[in-house]
Copies of this chain bind each other. A is one copy, B any other.
Amino acid sequence: MRFSIDQAAFLNGVQTVQRAISTKNVLPPILSGIYLEAGDGKLILRATDLEIGIESVLPATVSGEGAVVLPARYFTEIVRKLPAMEITVEEADNGQVRISYGKSEILLNAYDADEFPALQDFRDDVSFEISQSRLTSAIRNVSIAASVDYSRPIFTGILLEMVDGKLLKMVATDTHRLAYCEVQVDAATVEDSLSLIVPSRSLNELGRIFSPEEEAMVRIVVDENKILFETENIRITSRLIEGKFVNYRQVIPESWNTRVRMLRKPFYDALDRASLLSRDDLSKKKLNTVKMVIDEGAMEISSKSAQIGELEEKVPVHLEGERLEIGFNSRYLLDVLRVMDQEEIVLDLTSPLSPGIIRPLEENNNTLFLVLPIRLG
């Protein structure tokens, strides 16, 4: 194997696939490596932790076909520090790989490429397309509500639910909060319903690899217990999570008694300050509790820590319906407000013990966040 490639493009490809490398050491050693295959004027880079697999295809000057596997951690660091020039990579003796640049060279101990798992095959009976920008934006919104507690796998996943081949609903919940987002779908080969759960970690990595500014399409293929996301140069595969997702429709209230309209930024800033004085409460139940007193024209946000002191903020709001006192975990609200990019938002409430719903003011934006309140002492 022998190929030459520009350092910047090489680094980009290596950093892309390196996201699939597990930070845990429980996998076979070969999976701590990046697979490189040269041939037909291109370089294929590949990495997997058996849950997620990432492949990046780069144009390269290939003067010898073949494949090698290099230790991801060192290899990525080395490529990052190589000079910005043409880099040549080739097989050397004793199972080593030579990386040469200018008059300098590095010999790296390689793994046996035959041991690297082959790419998964996908039957593409079930497929659809979503633009990169829409997909990454939906993932950014929905993934905040996914759980990181792997003892209950369902909640660490994101539900992808397609109704009529035109609309994909994405939902995540950790049982304390829920995020919901609808995305326009193109070129679907399925017209009936589709419902699957993708690990949020896989979608998070995908969200970091694909560009929110890119309108080009991502083709999504579903085959039994696995899913494939592919663009011209990148293929991301993920296993699916088995099981039944919670009935999220049941949780979302259909009406409200208190509707608060306000600017996102002042609300965020006030909560951010309030969270400083709500953290040190050692009773875990009340962790990060902020109290909100919603009245005509203004919402009072307060927090208190016996150790540090107390805070009272006033945020201008427009109130429809009833006045209300309610408590929330400030972290959950901040997570929501951080991923929203709209200037104006709406908070719908029913009672001090019913979930609050946050959405953008603009009606057409099909995004919704649900946060359970905290009972005030």
Contacts and interface: CB of A to CB of B under 8 A. Distances in A.
Interface of A: 71, 74, 77-78, 81-83, 96, 102-109, 269-270, 272-273, 276-277, 298, 307-314
CB-based closest 4 A-B pairs: A108-B309, A103-B314, A104-B313, A106-B311
Contact of A102 (B103, B105, B307, B314): B314
A102 B311 CA distance: 13
Given A102-B314, A314-B102, A107 B309 contact: yes
A74 B106 contact: no
A220 B307 CA distance: 40
Contacts of A104: 270, 273, 311-314
A109 B78 contact: no
A310 B107 contact: yes
30 contacts: A71-B308, A74-B277, A74-B309, A77-B276, A78-B273, A78-B276, A81-B269, A81-B272, A81-B273, A81-B276, A82-B273, A83-B269, A96-B309, A103-B298, A104-B270, A104-B273, A104-B312, A104-B314, A105-B311, A106-B277, A106-B309, A106-B310, A107-B309, A107-B310, A107-B311, A108-B308, A108-B309, A109-B307, A109-B308, A109-B309
Nearest to A306: B109
